[in-house]
Chain A
Amino acid sequence: AQKVTQAQTEISVVEKEDVTLDCVYETRDTTYYLFWYKQPPSGELVFLIRRNSFDEQNEISGRYSWNFQKSTSSFNFTITASQVVDSAVYFCALSDSVGDMRFGAGTRLTVKP
């Protein structure tokens, strides 16, 4: 069975600080897909990043970066120089090749001015 664990329930930082959101996943599939979504106070779910299980290359996209490590089944997400507008609930998700996508419980990030 697939499972996503986001151990951090809430994180509070001051603007301009860097923040890393942790995600640990469990799957027996050899091919799977990992995602990060953001849910701002307005409620919609916004796609941030996607990674395939066979591509462990870590990248930076603007202020966002991620660290995918299959050896530890982790897919952590970092926001550099956080801003107040980054305040939201962040969800890590894991999908199998069919489309059954499971979400973690979410991490509520509060960025204070």
Chain B
Amino acid sequence: DSGVTQTPKHLITATGQRVTLRCSPRSGDLSVYWYQQSLDQGLQFLIQYYNGEERAKGNILERFSAQQFPDLHSELNLSSLELGDSALYFCASSAWGPENTEAFFGQGTRLTVV
């Protein structure tokens, strides 16, 4: 168990809908990362937050947004969902950034858009 908790584990929704994925980092970790894993795109970095502030941005669509709350949990919001958004979404956390520690991953949320 990595200590990173993601909910829900599975999510099925229809096109056009909006969903929120939740991540609780390991105790004491300040950095949260979001990744999308799909068969055709592999593991794609979406966004990183550090102590509530956005720190790095990757291939995140404009329909997607994220935030990190004062208690350090994070949410990834996906809106106007398309079939191609079906993927495994991972959250990871680390104590600081990559210069100090590795990132530990949650078990992922499998999103299916129908």
Contact = CB atoms under 8 A, between A and B. Distances in A.
B98 A95 contact: yes
B55 to A, nearest CB: 5
A45 B48 CA distance: 17
Interface size class of B (residues with CB under 8 A): 20 to 34
B112 interface: no
Contacts of B97: 97-99
A37 B102 CA distance: 10
A33 interface: yes
B55 A35 contact: no
Nearest to B50: A99
A55 interface: no
Most buried by A among B31, B35, B99, B106: B99
B42 A100 contact: no
B42 A105 contact: yes
25 contacts: A35-B103, A43-B108, A44-B106, A44-B107, A44-B108, A46-B2, A47-B104, A50-B101, A50-B102, A91-B43, A95-B98, A96-B98, A98-B56, A98-B97, A99-B31, A99-B33, A99-B50, A99-B56, A99-B97, A100-B56, A100-B57, A101-B45, A102-B58, A103-B42, A105-B42
Given A35-B103, A98-B55, A103-B45, 16 more contacts: A33-B98, A43-B88, A44-B2, A50-B102, A97-B97, A99-B31, A99-B33, A99-B50, A99-B56, A100-B48, A100-B56, A101-B45, A101-B103, A103-B43, A106-B42, A106-B43
Interface of B: 2, 31, 33, 35, 42-45, 48, 50, 55-58, 88, 90, 92, 97-99, 101-108
